[in-house]
Homo-oligomer: A and B are copies of this chain.
Amino acid sequence: MNMSVPVATTSQQSDQPLILLSKSNPVFCCYLFWSSLLIIKMLLMSLLTARQRIKTKTFANPEDLRMGRTPEVRFNDANVERMRRAHRNDLENVLPFLLMSLAYVASNPHPLTAKMLIRIGASARLLHTIVYACIPLPQPTRALSFFITFGIVIFEAFYVLICAIKYI
């Protein structure tokens, strides 16, 4: 009669590794929250670039000229290029951060450590965008915010490497 309880418990325990990439894992929920925030931020970069393009009438495609009532395509506007560099920096760092953190969460790290790393890494990228694309601040503000996330991704990568080394 009371067999169902221990059976369920055993099943629950043997399934523990399964729930890492699911809503029942608070670390994964934390990852979901911050990755959504970073992706919204990345998409907003497109709008910021478009705003600079319209403001400085710098269009790269002939079919866009009519929108800005400009006579010809133009490149190398300093403001547009700054946005594009900031956006590219996001591609180079935010996407690896998101993929690496997902692999890290799947490697069953210590929950508190993992949540702190995700929060700090994502916040540093938000700061990076502000000091790169919105209010250009003197260095080393940008370098610092860059290397915080950089260091966190490297740490996560080595953690996962060591966890999975025997499956090389």
Contacts and interface: CB of A to CB of B under 8 A. Distances in A.
Interface in A135-150: 136-139, 142, 150
Contacts of A30: 164, 167-168
Q: This chain: how many copies in the complex?
A: 3
B61 A85 contact: yes
Interface of A: 3-4, 6-8, 10-12, 14-15, 17-24, 26, 28-30, 32-33, 35-37, 39-40, 42-43, 45-46, 60-64, 66-67, 81-82, 85, 87, 91-93, 95-96, 98-100, 103, 106-108, 115, 136-139, 142, 150, 153-154, 156-158, 160-161, 163-168
Nearest to A33: B164
A142 B87 CA distance: 20
In the complex, the 10 A-B pairs of residues with the closest C-beta atoms, listed nearest first:
A29-B167, A33-B164, A36-B157, A32-B164, A36-B160, A30-B167, A29-B164, A17-B22, A36-B161, A39-B96
A61 B86 CA distance: 11
B165 A33 contact: yes
Given A8-B10, A23-B163, 19 more contacts: A4-B7, A4-B10, A11-B11, A12-B14, A18-B19, A22-B106, A29-B163, A32-B163, A33-B164, A35-B103, A35-B160, A36-B161, A37-B161, A39-B100, A40-B154, A40-B158, A43-B150, A61-B136, A115-B167
